[in-house]
Amino acid sequence: MKRVVITGLGAITPIGIGKESFWNSLTQGKSGVGPITRFDTTDFDTKIGAEVKDFNPSDYMDKKEAKRMDRFTQYAVVGAKLALEDGKIDLDKLNLDKVGVVIGVGIGGMETMGTEFAKLGDRGPSRVSPLYIPMMISNMAPGQISMTFGFRGPTMTITTACASGTHAIGEAFRMIKSGNVDMIVTGGAEASITPISLAGFCSMKALSTRNDDPIKASRPFDKERDGFVMGEGAGILILEELNHALARGANIYGEIVGYGSTSDAFHITQPDPEAKGASRAMEMALNEAEADYHDIEYINAHGTSTYFNDKLETLAIKNVFKEHAKNINISSTKSMTGHLLGAAGGIEAIAAIMAIKEGIIPPTINYDNPDEECDLNYTPNKAVKRDINYALSNSLGFGGHNATVLFKKYIG
């Protein structure tokens, strides 16, 4: 089996665009949550979100092309561009038949869908754009990446709600490990801060309503957590077969060595109360890597700031790591970025990889009130320095989808 390494990182996030800006904000504990600015939230219970700031697609692509993409696709394409640039990848020197694209998308083109449904209701079917379908469908994120850069390998979307980005990375890892491709552009993209999405999550009572103090709204594992905060953006990684990376003199951030994917088979939104699925996903990743549970120093938790997720993810970690669980630094970077849904696994994988590379664990901010059911080391409020050899990243999605990827410090 082939070894798989990470050689490029591209981030479009509520706390910064580009790997360096994103990572600096994480380590400084900067929140990206604030009042939603894209539409009037007067009639909504939740009026806050984690929007991407200062993003102008025409800075990265032709204006005409940008207009033919929903915002989630723009994020994906620009994230890929940044990752390819970060990886110093010369497209002319690649066998493009052996470069694939696998992107996780939880929802897809909700902004386009909302705009075109309004046209249908107000002005009739003839006014619906002929670009509606190709802009809205979730597979257009990897499709546009492949067309933009000429990648002709396997190109697909993974949709498993909030686990989509992590599943995409895991499946890309397996494709390269099997020897079928040399390189895959992977991760997640999402742009679902729209009126219909916000209304749906509000109706579920899933979102924080801490509108008067948005910076404090996302508070994973804290006893006063009251729901997640919607975020948006993209986290894109370049995964590459080791010898292929070495042959071109690539900068190697780290190695991906394990992947676990399970289902709770329990409920459409709530996790299994015994956390068996999430536990087994972590165990699968450890087993594939032939790593002992004592080897793990850091977990980037799913940590949504909802009652059930945080309680049961804590239980899953205890199930797997036993007495060692208290020795692990855990953090939920959603405390700063909000929850990027299908893109969450992408930016959180970048956070885990950078933690290994830099020897710094980003904090869980807003952790002020310990919860007796969440009693592990969540790296409260300030980043800490720690040498990290192994880091896990967890994602858990509506429908009972669980995904874990395991990263390791690269040793040649």
Catalytic residues, by residue number, are 162, 302, 339
CA–CA gap between residue 166 and residue 170 (Å, rounded): 6
Residue 226, token pair as written in the block? 């009251």
State the burial class of residue 175 (Cβ atoms within 10 Å of its Cβ: 0-12, 13-18, 19+): buried
- What is the number of alpha carbons within 13 Å of residue 34 lying toward its C-beta? 10
Angle at 244 between CA 158 and CA 24, to 5 degrees: 65
Q: How far is CA 35 from CA 78, 212, 215, in A?
A: 25, 9, 10
State the pairing for strand pair 233-241/34-35: unpaired
Q: What are 147's strand-pairing partners?
A: none
Which residue in 369, 403, 217, 380 sits closest to 306, CA to CA?
217
- End-to-end distance of the chain based on CA atoms, in angstroms? 16
